């Protein structure tokens, strides 16, 4: 066998069957996260090699209970399995089944097997099954199914070697019928098979039922299927119930012959824990406690590595300044590139901690309990329990959070969730919050326990959260009244048993999220930092030179002792630059909020991504620095004086006004883009932009008026 | 190979589901007004009580529930309810499943 041969594999399975764990186990760090074509469902592809040197490409498909999709996420599974012309079309399907809940997991397996594709059945979580007294004879199962069955424990890697050995000589496709579609629609199935050139009856049967929503067939094919089903009077849905029951009866016989169940006192751990985790009062208290811990962690634990990164970047900047001669090149590298790079890297600790938390909550099975206890409350605001996941993920970043609304099957709830998710304070706002809080909130401990700055931060997150809820309520009632969006709502949520998290899975989640942040968002931030440096360093015509000489002249005239000549000249230069002009242009609109044109520049650049605020501020203020001065942006802002009063520029009134503005304003191109993609209309992102920015302006104005 | 008489199974099933549908609409309207306890529903189980599934009153939802292993004849136990009384926490088909009250009320019990 040639060693450069490629084998493309797809992982299919129920949610909670340990699919991702197996994926991580096989591919390690050799994984890439992308999207399925045409949709924004996350697509993870990884590679690994076998002992013979054969290369395997593994596609992780979304978890589903059936090939009949109930949500957009699940639709990807059948669409991918049908689309045999795609370059990544899998040559072998690995169906992962939870051995401790075999019957329900085998339903999806029998469906996939009947499609007539080469299939391997992996019985995962074999350890959990044996603890529950379930013994499975995989030989018998394999014989009656006519395909390979492998027992596996993806938590410790037991059985993986056997799977890899099997992949050296993968099984070929067998046309089998665990369920015979000819019971229902023999004529139609025959016609579809002939028209589409299919070998499998069951594939044709699915096509006849699913063509309406499929993304991997052409319009003319859809029309043909529509005509054929109408002509033959085929009503797809009415057969599904009968098919499912028939399959379960096949499964019961399979299981009866291959599985022995030892009566054993069932583990009561999950129920015992649920006495607390979903308890009337304890449940909410524990959830609030976890959130509290999360924010304290992001605020305090992350500060050490962040200081280290800051220190490293300053040292690097100093080094460059020492090596390179003064001039535009050194200036571009230190104040443009390195300042921007520092702005990206400094985020890593916070993102890592946040995703570690989210990942642990998901791994343990606690996240499903959050959905369970929050559903009733969320429904009051026009959302549902499943909106909690996007809203909580929104704390990290609205972009993946909005993508995760695909798990919500109710279209109206989903639109409301998408609309309000950006109001949750994302990690990009965090540095802005951190710096501004540090400016005006004293770093003391209240009752010797709670850090006051941490409490202020939590307060901001709560305000964001409640504004999201209230906005959801308003939007919900508007949508209900307009009756534009029809709804079919299933909640139906599995509550998996509690598990100790597999730490390597947590690690992969952290690595993937940090990687995608650094490479996706980082590119934008770096580019903007450089553009900004140009905008702040150059102006139209000779305006910069004119402003410089004017400032020098006037400085001599007044001789203000509070500011050095260099600072006055730099400020004049910045004011004359392109950036300064842009800031001045919008100054009248933001003056009532207490903002000046320098903050105006930051607001403009923040539209690309909020985190640019800090970079912008440091670029703007560092332009006045001499070579020895590389203090952090915080010190620079503290030193900034109000040109009118001579007092500190960043008064509590201004800082809180700015905090509130960043809390509410829609300042993220990526979020608008993903909202457009998810809703497939410009109406929604535009509404988000106008609503959130309007809300920000009004709230900031109120705060500024109240405090000054 | 396991063999099964699909045809007869399919027919009896369809019959039963369509029967259930009509029977159900009736029982639902009754349970809401005059005779609340005539048809036992999964939503009317008491904490810790077990019932046997008979059928469903909502066709769309029944497809999902069947796929999740809620087959006619199988047992369903109410483990507890959420802090605000809804959704409900069931043990069914060997695992734990959460349904909203209105969803559970479409599961008819014997």
Mean pLDDT of the region A293-307: 80
Pairing of strands B50-56, B75-81: antiparallel
Of A10-14, A465-469, A597-601, where does mean pLDDT reach its minimum? A597-601
Q: Mutating which of B83, B97, B105, B106 best tests the A interface, going by the most A Cβ atoms within 10 A?
A: B83
Q: Mutating which of A109, A177, A244, A261 best tests the B interface, going by the most B Cβ atoms within 10 A?
A: A244
Is residue A267 one of the residues assigned to a domain?
no
Give the gap in angstroms from C-alpha A521 to the nearest C-alpha of chain B.
Answer: 37
Task: Say whether both A591 and A666 belong to one domain.
Answer: yes
Flag if B59 and A237 touch (Cβ within 8 Å): yes
Pick the last residue of a domain from A261, A296, A315: A261
Task: Say whether both A210 and A288 belong to one domain.
Answer: no
Burial A244-277 (b: 16+ CB within 10 A, else e): bbbbbbbbeebbeebbeeeeeeeeeebbebbeeb
More confident residue, B16 or A595: A595
- Give the domains, in start order, of chain B with CATH numbers: 6-109 (2.30.30.90)
Of A20-29, A269-278, A373-382, A528-537, where does mean pLDDT reach its minimum? A528-537
DSSP state for residue A86 in the 8-state scheme = S
Flag if A376 and B83 touch (Cβ within 8 Å): yes
Binning pLDDT at 50, 70 and 90, where does residue A177 land? confident
Taking the Cβ of residue A183 and every Cβ of chain B, the question of whether any pair is shorter than 8 Å is answered with yes
Mean pLDDT of the region A181-192: 89
Flag if B65 and A496 touch (Cβ within 8 Å): no
Name the H helices within A214-326: 219-231, 237-258, 269-277, 282-296, 303-323
Task: Say whether both A192 and A146 belong to one domain.
Answer: no
Q: pLDDT tens-digit profile of A489-500?
A: 678 899 999 989
Mean pLDDT of the region A284-288: 92
Mean pLDDT of the region A297-319: 84
Task: List A residues 315-374 in contact with B (Cβ-Cβ < 8 A).
Answer: 368, 371-373
Of A170-184, A334-348, A684-698, where does mean pLDDT reach its minimum? A334-348
Domain ranges, residue A195: 181-261
CB A232 within 8 A of CB A205: no
Flag if B98 and A494 touch (Cβ within 8 Å): yes
Residues of A in contact with B95 (CB under 8 A): 101, 104, 494-496
Mean pLDDT of all residues belonging to chain A: 84
Mean pLDDT of the region A35-63: 84
Task: Say whether both A454 and A540 belong to one domain.
Answer: no
Q: Residue A513 above 90 pLDDT?
A: no
Residues of B in contact with A237 (CB under 8 A): 59-60, 63
* A240, A278, A491: residue with CB nearest B63: A240
Is residue A498 one of the residues assigned to a domain?
no
Binning pLDDT at 50, 70 and 90, where does residue B31 land? very low
In angstroms, rounded to a whole number, what is the distance separating the alpha carbons of residues A101 and A259?
11
Residues A668, A670, A671, A677, CA torsion sign: positive
Mean pLDDT of the region A77-105: 91
* A100, A241, A283: residue with CB nearest B83: A283
Task: Say whether both A248 and A293 belong to one domain.
Answer: no
If you measure CA to CA, which chain B residue comes closest to A140? B1
If you measure CA to CA, which chain B residue comes closest to A270? B96
Task: Say whether both A154 and A231 belong to one domain.
Answer: no
Instruction: Supply the pLDDT for residue A484.
Output: 59
In angstroms, rounded to a whole number, what is the distance separating the alpha carbons of residues A552 and B43?
81
Residues of A in contact with B103 (CB under 8 A): 490-492
Task: Say whether both A50 and A119 belong to one domain.
Answer: yes
Mean pLDDT of the region A76-90: 88
Flag if B72 and A491 touch (Cβ within 8 Å): no
Bridge partners, A493 (sequence order): B98
Is residue A509 one of the residues assigned to a domain?
no
In angstroms, rounded to a whole number, what is the distance separating the alpha carbons of residues A640 and A649?
6
Pick the last residue of a domain from A140, A168, A196: A168
Taking the Cβ of residue A78 and every Cβ of chain B, the question of whether any pair is shorter than 8 Å is answered with no
Domain count, chain A: 4
Q: pLDDT tens-digit profile of A120-169?
A: 999 999 998 988 889 999 999 999 898 999 999 998 999 999 999 999 99
Instruction: Supply the pLDDT for residue A99.
Output: 93
In angstroms, rounded to a whole number, what is the distance separating the alpha carbons of residues B38 and A180?
39
CB A666 within 8 A of CB A693: yes
Task: Say whether both A475 and A612 belong to one domain.
Answer: no
In angstroms, rounded to a whole number, what is the distance separating the alpha carbons of residues A253 and A583?
74
Task: Say whether both A193 and A244 belong to one domain.
Answer: yes
The CATH code of the domain that includes A40 is 3.40.50.300
Flag if A279 and B6 touch (Cβ within 8 Å): no
Of A133-142, A152-161, A276-285, A610-619, where does mean pLDDT reach its minimum? A610-619
Instruction: Supply the pLDDT for residue A526.
Output: 78
In angstroms, rounded to a whole number, what is the distance separating the alpha carbons of residues A298 and A293?
9
* A104, A183, A495: residue with CB nearest B98: A495
Q: Mutating which of B57, B65, B96 best tests the A interface, going by the most A Cβ atoms within 10 A?
A: B96
Taking the Cβ of residue A279 and every Cβ of chain B, the question of whether any pair is shorter than 8 Å is answered with yes
Of A245-254, A388-397, A462-471, where does mean pLDDT reach its minimum? A388-397
Mean pLDDT of the region B48-68: 93
Of A9-23, A485-499, A561-575, A674-688, where does mean pLDDT reach its minimum? A561-575
Task: Say whether both A143 and A190 belong to one domain.
Answer: no
Task: Say whether both A593 and A692 belong to one domain.
Answer: yes
Taking the Cβ of residue A144 and every Cβ of chain B, the question of whether any pair is shorter than 8 Å is answered with yes
Quick check: bond before B87 cis, omega within 30?
A: yes
Pick the last residue of a domain from A111, A141, A168: A168
Residues B78, B82, B86, B87, CA torsion sign: negative
Segment of A94-98, A233-237, A673-677 carrying the highest mean pLDDT: A94-98
Task: Say whether both A425 and A464 belong to one domain.
Answer: yes
Cα dihedral angle (A162, A135, A174, A194), rounded to 10 degrees? -130
Taking the Cβ of residue A283 and every Cβ of chain B, the question of whether any pair is shorter than 8 Å is answered with yes
Mean pLDDT of the region A35-47: 74
Is residue A499 one of the residues assigned to a domain?
no
* B9, B79, B84: residue with CB nearest A377: B84
Instruction: Supply the pLDDT for residue A489.
Output: 63
Give the gap in angstroms from C-alpha A379 to the nearest C-alpha of chain B.
Answer: 11
Is residue A508 one of the residues assigned to a domain?
no
Flag if B83 and A107 touch (Cβ within 8 Å): no
Q: Residue A669 above 80 pLDDT?
A: no
Q: Residue A232 above 70 pLDDT?
A: yes
Of A12-16, A348-352, A475-479, where does mean pLDDT reach its minimum? A348-352
Instruction: Supply the pLDDT for residue B47.
Output: 94
Instruction: Supply the pLDDT for residue B96.
Output: 94
Flag if B66 and A284 touch (Cβ within 8 Å): no
């Amino acid at each position: 066998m040639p060693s450069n041969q490629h084998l493309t594999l797809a992982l299919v399975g129920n949610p909670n069957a340990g699919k991702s764990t197996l994926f991580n186990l096989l591919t390690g760090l050799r994984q890439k996260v992308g999207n399925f074509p045409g949709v924004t469902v996350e697509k993870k592809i990884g590679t690994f090699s076998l002992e013979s040197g054969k290369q395997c490409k593994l596609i992780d498909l979304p978890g589903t209970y059936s090939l009949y999709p109930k949500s957009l996420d699940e639709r990807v599974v059948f669409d991918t399995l049908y689309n045999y012309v795609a370059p990544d079309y899998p040559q072998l399907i690995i169906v992962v089944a939870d051995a401790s809940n075999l019957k329900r997991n085998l339903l999806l397996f029998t469906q996939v097997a009947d499609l007539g594709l080469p299939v391997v059945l992996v019985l995962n979580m074999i350890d959990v099954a044996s603890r529950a007294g379930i013994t499975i004879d995989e030989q018998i199962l394999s014989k009656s199914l006519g395909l390979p069955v492998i027992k596996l424990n993806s938590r410790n890697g037991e059985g993986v070697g056997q799977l890899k050995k099997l992949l050296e000589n993968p099984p070929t496709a067998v046309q089998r019928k665990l369920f015979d579609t000819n019971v229902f629609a023999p004529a139609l199935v025959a016609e579809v098979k002939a028209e589409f050139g299919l070998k499998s009856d069951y594939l044709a049967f699915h096509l006849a039922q699913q063509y309406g929503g499929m993304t991997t067939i052409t319009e003319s094919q859809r029309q043909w299927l529509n005509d054929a089903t109408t002509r033959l009077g085929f009503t797809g849905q009415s057969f599904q119930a009968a098919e499912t029951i028939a399959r379960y009866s096949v499964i019961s016989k399979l299981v009866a012959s291959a599985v022995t169940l030892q009566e054993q006192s069932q583990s009561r751990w999950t129920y015992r824990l649920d006495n607390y985790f979903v308890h009337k009062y304890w449940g909410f208290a524990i959830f609030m406690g976890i959130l509290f811990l999360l924010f304290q962690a992001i605020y305090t634990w992350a500060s050490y590595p962040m200081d280290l990164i800051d220190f490293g970047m300053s040292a690097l900047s100093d080094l460059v300044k020492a090596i390179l001669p003064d001039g535009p090149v050194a200036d571009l590298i230190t104040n443009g590139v390195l300042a921007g790079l520092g702005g990206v890297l400094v985020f890593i600790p916070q993102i890592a901690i946040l995703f570690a938390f989210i990942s642990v909550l998901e791994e343990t099975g606690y996240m499903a309990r959050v959905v369970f206890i929050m559903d009733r409350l969320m429904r009051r605001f026009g959302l549902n329990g499943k909106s909690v996941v996007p809203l909580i993920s929104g704390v990290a970043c609205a972009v993946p959070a909005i993508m995760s609304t695909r798990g919500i099957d109710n279209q109206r709830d989903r639109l409301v969730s998408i609309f309000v998710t950006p109001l949750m304070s994302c990690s990009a706002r965090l540095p802005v919050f951190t710096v501004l809080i540090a400016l005006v909130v004293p770093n003391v401990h209240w009752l010797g326990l709670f850090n006051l700055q941490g409490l202020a931060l939590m307060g901001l997150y709560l305000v964001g959260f409640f504004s999201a809820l209230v906005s959801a309520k308003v939007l919900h009632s508007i949508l209900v009244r307009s009756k534009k969006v029809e709804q079919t709502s299933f909640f139906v949520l599995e509550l998996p048993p509690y598990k100790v998290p597999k730490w390597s899975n947590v690690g992969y989640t952290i690595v993937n999220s940090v990687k995608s942040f650094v490479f996706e968002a980082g590119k934008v931030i770096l580019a903007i930092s450089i553009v900004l440096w140009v905008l702040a360093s150059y102006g139209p015509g000779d305006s910069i030179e004119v402003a410089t000489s004017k400032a020098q002249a006037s400085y001599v005239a007044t001789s203000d002792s509070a500011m050095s000549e260099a600072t006055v000249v730099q400020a004049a230069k910045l004011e004359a630059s392109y950036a300064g002009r842009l800031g001045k242009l919008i100054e009248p609109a933001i003056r009532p909020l207490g903002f000046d044109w320098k903050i105006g520049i930051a607001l403009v650049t923040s539209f690309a991504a909020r985190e640019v605020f800090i970079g912008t501020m440091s670029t703007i203020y560092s332009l006045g620095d001499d070579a020895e001065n590389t203090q952090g942006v915080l010190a620079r802002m503290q030193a900034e004086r109000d040109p009118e009063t001579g007092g500190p520029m960043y008064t509590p009134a201004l800082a809180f006004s700015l905090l509130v503005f960043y809390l509410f304003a829609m300042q993220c191109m990526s979020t608008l883009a993903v909202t457009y993609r998810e809703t497939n209309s410009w109406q929604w992102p535009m509404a988000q932009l106008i609503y959130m920015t309007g809300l920000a302006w009004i709230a900031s104005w109120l705060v500024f008026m109240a405090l000054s | 190979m396991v063999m099964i008489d699909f045809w007869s199974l399919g027919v009896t099933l369809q019959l039963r589901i369509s029967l259930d549908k009509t029977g159900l609409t009736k029982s639902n309207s009754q349970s809401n007004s005059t005779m609340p306890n005539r048809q036992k529903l999964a939503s009317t189980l008491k904490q810790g009580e077990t019932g046997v599934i008979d059928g469903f009153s909502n066709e769309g939802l029944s497809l999902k529930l069947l796929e999740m292993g809620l087959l006619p004849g199988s047992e369903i136990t109410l483990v507890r309810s959420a802090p605000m009384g809804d959704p409900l926490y069931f043990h069914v088909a060997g695992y734990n499943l959460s349904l909203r009250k209105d969803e559970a009320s479409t599961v008819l019990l014997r």
